[in-house]
């Protein structure tokens, strides 16, 4: 292995979240000297999501990861709800096989999960430095990135390659000029309450047992602010929250915690969460716009991964981020390893990172679904479709004797008119959805 | 068995209690600085509604009172702010600021 004696390490990874820890793990396994810098007192201290994690991508890096990962519950039920003022349409799918190895998704607390993942990197030989904030990039005489400045005394750390996994606010990607797309419309605020409820109460309310859990994604119910809601079961808590488009949130008068309160009081949600005492209130910003907001991911001596590269998939029925972060960290590490071996850490030398992203789900999913985040957060889908859909279902199931049952076509037509949706727009959105999801 | 009645279904929780459920390790240096003069000229006040930690409080003289201590470090405030230079935002010193719960 090449060692870079004039440097502190072969690679410095900034941020011990899922992207950073997977990068550090992969590099340490390959025999590289890697320093993983984390500003929190422990990995995961700053990190928050809904949250469900889909760790399939870890199969290779951490075989049988499910035996050691700190999971709350294995998701065996996935529900998508559409809420009107008082009504709710739910599509619910259950597969008990997802509750056994090799599993599918799991609820987990990020401070637990991220700490566990970082520990895997440490066990493989990475050096973890916590309670250390990176304040900027260092450059060599040629302008190439060759390290980071930290807030420790004499805190400069040098390496031929820096991997920025510094999260959604990525000051490093911005400093490097890679991230010009900071339009607030690309971001949402996620706010969450973790509600304490006894395990048996959660089991009964959500119709699961043992370590099986439920993932509920919600359209509507966010007080008219474009976004969505979620309810996830942990072992003895339920996570409930909302994801809110920043400009829409800022332009009205309801505060985030009031929007959660509104969701909690919806007739379809209240019975699931009532009596739950707030154990923790939390918030985090989400890069929501997908492909269109992604920064340039490679510069001389620098790679960007995870939320820092906006690798969050917010596509309605698919809300994923941690898996994209873990994969991008892994591929960044592989590209860094190859570049070091070839002694070319220029943007060109590191270019295999984008090749790897393009060849795998990381960018293929984002490219295929590139129009879906915009569609899901659009005014029509948010403001008009929930009322339209629940209106149709309500009329289908309402028995209005002595009136005869109206035909489905008439119901759809009348409800569409009532919701103020033009046929041409409905067809257009349907086409966008079909092309994205199809 | 846990007893849940309709009366206890929605325990009132003040914002102080709510924010008190999260752990903040407070450093003496403010990591976010708000320029009061710029805020006085702002009528839209996006930060006041959007900040999940409710750290921006309008004052009677038209300004904004800001407290950095219970900050989630999410970035919402500087992203929604329309006034160039009103909010100077950076991360707190290593080890300080929000610390989400471990089990």
CA nearest B55 in A: which residue? A255
Whether B44 is covered by a domain: the verdict is yes
Token pair of B78 as six digits: 């500087």
Query: What integer best gives the mean pLDDT of chain A?
Result: 96
Give the confidence band of A181 by pLDDT, cuts at 50, 70, 90.
Answer: low
Identify all chain B residues contacting A168, using CB atoms and an 8 Å cutoff.
75
Whether A311 is covered by a domain: the verdict is yes
Task: Please tell me whether residues A29 and A163 are part of one structural domain.
Answer: yes
Give the confidence band of A156 by pLDDT, cuts at 50, 70, 90.
Answer: very high
Nearest-neighbour CA in chain B from A167: distance (Å): 10
Q: What is the pTM of this model?
A: 0.95
CB atoms closer than 10 angstroms to residue A368: 16
Beta-carbon contacts of residue A67 (< 8 Å; ≥ 6 apart): none
Q: How far apart are CA A53 and CA A324, in angstroms?
A: 10
Of A331, A354, A370, which residue constitutes the final position of a domain?
A370
What's the number of CA atoms in the CB half-sphere (13 Å) around residue A307? Answer: 25
Token pair of A14 as six digits: 């900034």
Q: Identify the DSSP state of B93.
A: S
Nearest-neighbour CA in chain A from B20: distance (Å): 8
Whether A100 is covered by a domain: the verdict is no
What are the helix (H) ranges across A342-407? 352-359, 361-368, 372-376, 379, 385-397
Token pair of A278 as six digits: 């707030």
Whether B4 is covered by a domain: the verdict is no
Identify all chain A residues contacting B46, using CB atoms and an 8 Å cutoff.
250-251
The percentage of residues in chain B with a pLDDT greater than 70, rounded to a whole number, is: 89
Q: pLDDT tens-digit profile of A24-39?
A: 999 999 999 999 999 9
Task: Please tell me whether residues A237 and A274 are part of one structural domain.
Answer: yes
pLDDT reading at B3 higher than 60: no
Q: How far apart are CA A240 and CA A229, in angstroms?
A: 8
Mean pLDDT of A124-137: 98
Task: Please tell me whether residues A120 and A152 are part of one structural domain.
Answer: yes
Reading phi first (left if > 0) and then psi (alpha if -120 to 50, else beta), residue B73 is in left
Identify all chain A residues contacting B22, using CB atoms and an 8 Å cutoff.
280-282
A363 backbone dihedrals φ, ψ, rounded to 5°: -100, -20
Closest residue to B80, CB basis, from A132, A169, A247: A247
Task: State the pLDDT at residue B6.
Answer: 47
Closest residue to A249, CB basis, from B11, B49, B94: B49
Say how many domains are in chain A.
3
Task: Please tell me whether residues A120 and A161 are part of one structural domain.
Answer: yes
Nearest-neighbour CA in chain A from B46: distance (Å): 5
Say how many domains are in chain B.
1
Q: How far apart are CA A164 and CA A162, in angstroms?
A: 6
Task: State the pLDDT at residue B61.
Answer: 86
Of A243, A260, A287, which residue constitutes the final position of a domain?
A287
> Range of A117's domain?
11-71+108-181+294-370
pLDDT reading at A185 higher than 80: yes
Task: Please tell me whether residues A117 and A227 are part of one structural domain.
Answer: no
A6 touches chain B (CB under 8 A): no
A131 touches chain B (CB under 8 A): yes
Q: pLDDT tens-digit profile of A213-268?
A: 999 999 999 999 999 999 999 999 999 999 999 999 999 999 999 999 999 999 99
Task: State the pLDDT at residue B10.
Answer: 62
Give, to the nearest 10 degrees, the angle between helix A322-341 and helix A352-359: 140
Task: State the pLDDT at residue A53.
Answer: 98
Identify all chain B residues contacting A48, using CB atoms and an 8 Å cutoff.
72, 100
Identify all chain B residues contacting A150, using CB atoms and an 8 Å cutoff.
94
Residue that has been written with the tokens 């600021």 in this structure: B97
CA nearest A234 in B: which residue? B103
Greatest alpha-carbon pair distance for chain A in Å reads 88
Task: State the pLDDT at residue A170.
Answer: 96
Q: What is the ipTM of this complex?
A: 0.94
CA A426 → CA A248, A399, B73, distances in Å? 23, 27, 39
CA A421 → CA A376, A381, A394, A395, A407, distances in Å? 16, 10, 18, 18, 19
Residue from A71, A184, A242, A277 to probe the interface with B (highest B Cβ count within 10 Å): A184
Token pair of A315 as six digits: 């596509």
Whether A252 is covered by a domain: the verdict is yes
Give the confidence band of A179 by pLDDT, cuts at 50, 70, 90.
Answer: confident
């Amino acid at each position: 292995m090449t060692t870079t004696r004039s440097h502190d390490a072969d690679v410095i990874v900034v941020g011990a979240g899922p992207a950073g820890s997977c990068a550090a793990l992969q590099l340490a396994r390959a025999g590289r000297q890697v320093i993983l810098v984390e500003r929190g007192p422990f990995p995961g201290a700053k990190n928050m999501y809904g949250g469900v994690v889909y760790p399939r991508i870890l199969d290779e890096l951490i075989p049988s990861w499910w035996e050691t990962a700190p999971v709350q519950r294995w998701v065996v039920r996935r529900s998508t709800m559409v809420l009107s003022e008082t009504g709710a349409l739910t599509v619910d799918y259950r597969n008990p096989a997802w509750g056994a190895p090799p599993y599918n998704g799991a609820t987990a607390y990020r401070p637990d999960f991220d700490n566990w993942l970082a520990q895997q990197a440490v066990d493989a030989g990475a050096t973890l430095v916590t309670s250390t904030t990176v304040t900027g990039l260092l450059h060599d005489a040629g302008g190439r990135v060759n390290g980071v400045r930290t807030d420790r005394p004499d805190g400069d750390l040098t390496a031929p390659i820096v991997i920025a996994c510094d999260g959604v606010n990525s000051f490093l990607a911005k400093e490097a000029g890679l991230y010009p797309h900071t339009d607030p419309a690309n971001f949402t605020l996620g706010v969450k309450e973790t509600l304490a409820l006894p395990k048996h109460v959660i089991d009964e309310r959500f119709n699961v047992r043992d370590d099986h859990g439920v993932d509920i994604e919600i359209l509507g119910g966010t007080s008219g602010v474009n976004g969505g809601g979620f309810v996830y079961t942990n072992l003895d808590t339920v996570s409930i929250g909302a994801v809110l488009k920043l400009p829409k949130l800022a332009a009205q008068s309801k505060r985030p915690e009031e929007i959660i309160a509104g969701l909690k009081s919806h007739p379809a949600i209240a019975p699931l969460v009532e009596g739950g005492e707030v154990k923790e209130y939390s918030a985090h910003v989400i890069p929501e716009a997908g492909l269109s907001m992604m920064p340039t991911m490679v510069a001389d001596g620098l790679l960007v991964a995870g939320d820092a590269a906006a690798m969050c998939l917010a596509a309605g029925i698919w809300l994923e981020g941690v898996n994209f972060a873990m994969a991008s960290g892994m591929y960044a590490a592989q590209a860094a390893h190859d570049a070091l071996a070839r002694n070319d850490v220029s943007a060109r030398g590191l270019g295999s990172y984008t090749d790897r992203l393009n060849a795998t789900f990381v960018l293929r999913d984002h490219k295929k679904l590139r129009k879906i985040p915009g569609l899901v957060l659009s005014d029509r889908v948010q403001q008009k479709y929930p009322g339209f859909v629940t209106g149709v279902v309500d009329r289908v199931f309402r028995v209005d004797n002595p009136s005869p049952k109206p035909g489905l076509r008439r119901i759809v037509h009348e409800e569409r008119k009532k919701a103020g949706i033009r046929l041409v727009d409905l067809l257009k959105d349907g086409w966008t959805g079909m092309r994205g999801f199809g | 068995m846990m007893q849940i009645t309709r009366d206890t279904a929605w325990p009132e929780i003040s914002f102080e209690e709510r924010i008190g459920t999260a752990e903040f390790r407070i450093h003496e240096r403010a990591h976010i600085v708000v320029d009061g003069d710029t805020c006085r000229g702002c009528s839209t006040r996006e930060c006041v509604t959007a900040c999940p930690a409710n750290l921006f409080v309008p004052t009677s003289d038209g300004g904004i009172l800001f407290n950095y201590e219970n900050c989630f470090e999410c970035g919402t405030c500087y992203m929604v702010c329309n006034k160039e230079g009103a909010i100077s935002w950076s991360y707190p010193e290593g080890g300080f600021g929000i610390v989400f719960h471990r089990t």
